[in-house]
Structure 1
């Protein structure tokens, strides 16, 4: 670590306590992840509430995912160039603006615009991790990063019962007023408690690269998230995947030749970064698979033979402990990362995911079986999400931290969106009609669990191929 960086870090910590910076960034991460489950309790009611078709109202969920995937790597690059704190403030401001638009809107267009702006706030998580790298000493970085990474699951898990309670007992617009209030609080706290950046990369924004990345990712994510509804072999679906891949290939060719690219693909192609990012798809898939399957399994009528007949709030409370576990084990994750290194921690986390889904595959006849399986998933996601950014940060220059962590978050988003589409397709295809309502069969849930096991197993194998980082397995290497 350079002497100049030491002096800069001391200047920052002289005015603002480090614990305050970490706590505020974690709160911002919780707000960001809450946006993904904000409207989950309303999904079945959206066509009636917005006077639109079910096909149109699914965009209330899909648009947030699409914008998050596109905006995250772009915001990371902007943070590296213009200041991570500034971009975090801008993203939280977009969250507030989007929430206000949706809160005062009674039409589907206004809600979709608001949800799109809410999706951009996802970039605060990788930016927060990059800020921690700038301001924290090595011995505290692992725990702080584990806490920040845990917010990706905690916000959604804890927010779901809150959203369910609000949706059941108040006007649905209050969900967006709540989101706006959280955004305002987060914005004020960041302004007060997060220091200005000292590490920046001079340059300009690669606008053409940003547009190309946005178009390519949108095509692929539309294929993943909408393919089941449009038909996997329909012209529109094939045009999305074909066009998306073609644009991304052209984008990659351009990035390798641009003098100031949006993302240095040569850095992203390093084995440690590459294998971690590919494995992140499996981790994202495993995380969201539980979010799709467990609530449905818990809420299905007992008469179906596989459901537990819980109401929406009770089901959300059963799912919630996984997020709490991720938060609680973050100090342990940090200690393990310092003791054995991030790569073994990643392997253990991915293995815990496999064990969790094997458990619910064999035992899921009682509510406590689902609870135990979900807690194991929380442990696995907590360990693996803590390890991934540390592996990335040990493998890239300091001026690439924001963009590289943003890219890792993008791969996780691809995994979550894939899980949403695949699990939804399996449950819809393997269902029977009960009193005119399509109910997924027990076999459908077993297939979903097997798919999650495969995703976790692939991540375990990929983690074994991540190169051991000499001289840095026991201490994080910071900017030099």
Structure 2
């Protein structure tokens, strides 16, 4: 099976996993963003309360993804994937039917486990596909992380106008219900480690410090960085992280093998992943804001939310195509060179719009370069991690990589919004052009750092195979 020649069902595995990744995580995460004001009104809550519908799922996904990846490594990815999909659907249904904010948040937190589809998908791909197809499949899967956000903006206007905001929450459910049945039929069974044990203390401490740290990060713009609650959360995160590191260095089968994280191919890919996450979400903030600012500002375009979404669409298509093409490039030149090319393209796109944003075609040009570059970079970092770890650690290693990318995305969102807001001449005022120029320039600077990481990443011989190590 897999390596000896693909069956008809196995040829459907990657398209199915890509579809599930979009529905279970990328789209379901982003779909509430266009509807936040309507959710606030519909549930009778505050703007901060409505924003927690996004934060709750982000925290749940960040905590759950590495743990789910580890469970897939231990018990086989197929049964864990099926459980994850069912729990995700239940959470989405609870959120769609919620009549109050607490119920909505509970549903969104349950749905957050859908982020675990990605590390499970990487494990499945590695186990059932021939080596010459692994890089392309991993690249396509990675590019799905950016597709959901663009789709959410494209479908939001028509769905809200015709059916109401709640139907936005039903869209992923409509895709996942048949998706669960298809996963049960198509995804093959693979082996499991019979003697494996779960590091429950490590998982508990890991979840605790991540929740504290990510809550501080996401709430700091609203509460203030010097707020006692933020300082307390940051201190708790640091203390719990120290305890977690002590536990993980002592247990026989840790949740996250720290020796693995120190490998050059892993840590360079993880830091580059964080920078790529920043670059993705920086554009997700800066481009729509710039397009929708009034023409009277002298640099805004007075566009609608739909026009802002359409600006993102070509970049998302470019990102998806580039992610798939990255596999063929990986076979020719290696993941290190693909990451380098992606960082250079993304740097070029952001550098261009930092100095040239007077016309929409300039935004399209820079945005497409950014999308293609990020598609290459996302695929490259995932392939670098897959190639650097033994097969039995694929799920947890790619889960940590996805988590770090989520942290970078949160930083990109918060920092870009703060840069633009700080440029206003007075609190609540209209941002200045300099704020957008600086925001684009900072995003470009992250790619300068990513170029350095690409040069530090280990060289891998191009050609068939994922260069997987045999020993941890």
* TM-score clears 0.5: yes
Q: Which structure 2 residues correspond to residues 374-413 of structure 1 after superposition, within 5 A? A: 374-413=367-406
Is the CA contact (8 Å cut-off) linking 2:69 and 2:116 kept in structure 1? yes
Asked if 1:52 corresponds to 2:45, the answer is yes
User: Which of 442, 445, 455 is the aligned partner of 1:451?
Assistant: 442
Secondary structure class of the residue paired with 1:330: helix
User: Which of 458, 461, 464 is the aligned partner of 2:452?
Assistant: 461
User: Which of 323, 326, 330 is the aligned partner of 1:333?
Assistant: 326
Asked if 1:27 corresponds to 2:19, the answer is yes
Q: Give 1:431 shift.
A: 2.3
2-structure distance, mates of 1:474, 1:160: 38
Q: Give 1:472 shift.
A: 6.3
> What are the Cα deviations for residues 326-351 of structure 1, in whole angstroms up to 9, with x where unaligned?
22233421111000000111111111
Q: Which structure 2 residues correspond to residues 241-320 of structure 1 after superposition, within 5 A? A: 241-320=234-313
Q: For structure 1, which runs of at least 5 residues remain unmatched after alignment?
A: 1-6
Secondary structure class of the residue paired with 2:300: coil
Q: Give 1:184 shift.
A: 0.9
TM-score of the two chains, using structure 2 as the length reference: 0.95
2-structure distance, mates of 1:141, 1:231: 45
Is the CA contact (8 Å cut-off) linking 1:96 and 1:181 kept in structure 2? no
Secondary structure class of the residue paired with 1:257: coil
Q: Give 1:9 shift.
A: 4.3
In the other structure, the counterpart of 1:4 is none
2-structure distance, mates of 1:473, 1:216: 41
1-structure distance, mates of 2:425, 2:413: 20
Q: Give 1:127 shift.
A: 1.4
Is the CA contact (8 Å cut-off) linking 1:134 and 1:199 kept in structure 2? no
Return structure 1 stretches of 4+ with deviation > 6 angstroms.
Answer: none
Asked if 1:424 corresponds to 2:424, the answer is no
In the other structure, the counterpart of 2:366 is 373
Q: Give 1:85 shift.
A: 1.4
2-structure distance, mates of 1:430, 1:173: 35
Asked if 1:358 corresponds to 2:358, the answer is no
Q: Give 1:424 shift.
A: 2.0
1-structure distance, mates of 2:160, 2:300: 23
Asked if 1:476 corresponds to 2:469, the answer is no
User: Which of 144, 147, 150 is the aligned partner of 1:154?
Assistant: 147
Is the CA contact (8 Å cut-off) linking 1:226 and 1:421 kept in structure 2? no
TM-score of the two chains, using structure 1 as the length reference: 0.93
Q: Would the alpha carbon gap of residues 200 and 53 (structure 1) be closer, same or farther in structure 2, given more than 3 Å must change?
A: same
> What are the Cα deviations for residues 375-413 of structure 1, in whole angstroms up to 9, with x where unaligned?
111111111111112111111111000000001001101
Q: Give 1:109 shift.
A: 1.2
> What are the Cα deviations for residues 425-460 of structure 1, in whole angstroms up to 9, with x where unaligned?
222222257xx9643221111121122112111111
1-structure distance, mates of 2:187, 2:267: 31
Moved more, 164-173 or 408-417: 164-173
User: Which of 31, 34, 44 is the aligned partner of 1:38?
Assistant: 31
Q: For structure 2, which runs of at least 5 residues remain unmatched after alignment?
A: none
Asked if 1:145 corresponds to 2:138, the answer is yes
Q: Give 1:176 shift.
A: 1.4
Q: Give 1:208 shift.
A: 1.1
Is the CA contact (8 Å cut-off) linking 2:319 and 2:375 kept in structure 1? yes
Is the CA contact (8 Å cut-off) linking 2:330 and 2:462 kept in structure 1? no
Is the CA contact (8 Å cut-off) linking 2:13 and 2:187 kept in structure 1? yes
1-structure distance, mates of 2:140, 2:225: 39
Is the CA contact (8 Å cut-off) linking 1:201 and 1:399 kept in structure 2? no
Q: Give 1:305 shift.
A: 2.0
Q: Which structure 2 residues correspond to residues 145-294 of structure 1 after superposition, within 5 A? A: 145-198=138-191, 200=193, 202-294=195-287
2-structure distance, mates of 1:160, 1:88: 27
In the other structure, the counterpart of 1:17 is 9
